[in-house]
Structure 1
């Protein structure tokens, strides 16, 4: 069953065709990776899906509802959370307060309990009272994921989540992501191919603003066009 369906998405910036007629589907409860060379249009596509960039053409449906014209904050209310490529925590607030701000949007009856649960989910309970700006980079990335999870999303979009993480932190991150499904659908934009091939159940490859290939990790690794354009085969 598709949770998200996009058809014919178009977004140009001047003469650059960042997204040029893309169809994209996410099945409920899956980990889906979006990969491609630099400039392929990955960040633009997730910007369109999350509502941070308006589509110039095409449609987006989420759980059967047309959300094409909804702004980003309204899509959060529909159940779409987006963790940025660059950390977007509030550095002068505590770790706890960062997550509590996200929990407030859900109308949770017990703000403290919901906040503590989100922190525990990512292993940051011990840093609850620490200023977010003093956390390590890896912990700031985990905090941002906690903020996303605090919104109780049905779809969590993670943009380059392992960038800057140490190998041990990457292993912990993969364990965390696996624990989210099938309750949460995960869309992963990632350059680390070991992470992609280990985590993803399905992969979409973008190149020059268009879909180059779709399939399982094994199918993508064997695809000659993908090898030529991206995997270096």
Structure 2
């Protein structure tokens, strides 16, 4: 069995009376592609925000690469090898595409700035748009730019929140090929509503509902799970 790169135990975050994440246990194997699914409001984005440090943990623990990161801020988790792309694009809109990625490359400490920046852009098919102002890109291309920024950090864990939102069908195939190309060196955790993408790409799937773990298993396991069908897959 593959080693676990990340584990969470009893992870909890409430907002007033809303139990966004309610005592979730979670294990992520090194080198896998793992999807998190569930109905709107299930707690998916809050959960990965806890893992990445964007939201502080209320209770519970998180270990990454064998070390406790529960109280580490987000920037310290990036330095440990966790990159997180946002559900809503978080690019520097007035800077050129090249500069957006170059900033991430610089943070990683590269001594070959242009080579590594252009390589990251080429991986997502945006190398021919390096000089374009990032805010003028189509929304789908902005999502790809954000992925390039994440890859430029050379992370051990890449967390993607709704990565195919805004992508054309032709771009989705390229995205799936891209994700497959980064494993096993990089572990991928994604939140995704496109079930065709989830079932084709993920090796394991975690289902959240009302902030709690509903099910976990292979795509075949999830398809056959009656509770998941009732809560999310529509029968």
Band of TM-score, shorter chain: over 0.9
Q: After TM superposition, give the deviation of residue 117 of structure 1 in Å.
A: 1.2
Compute the TM-score of the two structures, normalised by the length of structure 2: 0.98
Partner residue, 2:161: 159
Secondary structure at the residue paired with 2:84? strand
Residue number among 5, 13, 16 corresponding to 2:15 in the alignment: 13
Compute the TM-score of the two structures, normalised by the length of structure 1: 0.99
**Residues 89-138 of structure 1: CA deviation (Å, up to 9, x unaligned):** 11111110000011111111111111111111111110111111111111
Q: Which runs of 5+ in 1 are unaligned?
A: none
Q: Which runs of 5+ in 2 are unaligned?
A: none
Partner residue, 1:55: 57
In 1, Cα distance between equivalents of 2:87 and 2:146: 10
In 1, Cα distance between equivalents of 2:72 and 2:213: 24
Secondary structure at the residue paired with 2:13? strand
Q: After TM superposition, give the deviation of residue 76 of structure 1 in Å.
A: 0.2
RMSD: 0.6
Residue number among 205, 217, 223 corresponding to 2:207 in the alignment: 205
Partner residue, 2:70: 68
Q: After TM superposition, give the deviation of residue 219 of structure 1 in Å.
A: 0.3
Residue number among 192, 195, 203 corresponding to 2:194 in the alignment: 192
Question: How many equivalent residue pairs?
Answer: 233
In 2, Cα distance between equivalents of 1:47 and 1:181: 22
User: Which consecutive segments of 4 or more residues in structure 1 shift more than 2 A?
Assistant: none
Q: After TM superposition, give the deviation of residue 87 of structure 1 in Å.
A: 0.8
Q: Is 1:96 equivalent to 2:98 in the alignment? A: yes
- Equivalences for residues 74-89 of structure 1 within 5 A: 74-89=76-91
- Which deviates further from its counterpart, 154-163 or 130-139? 130-139
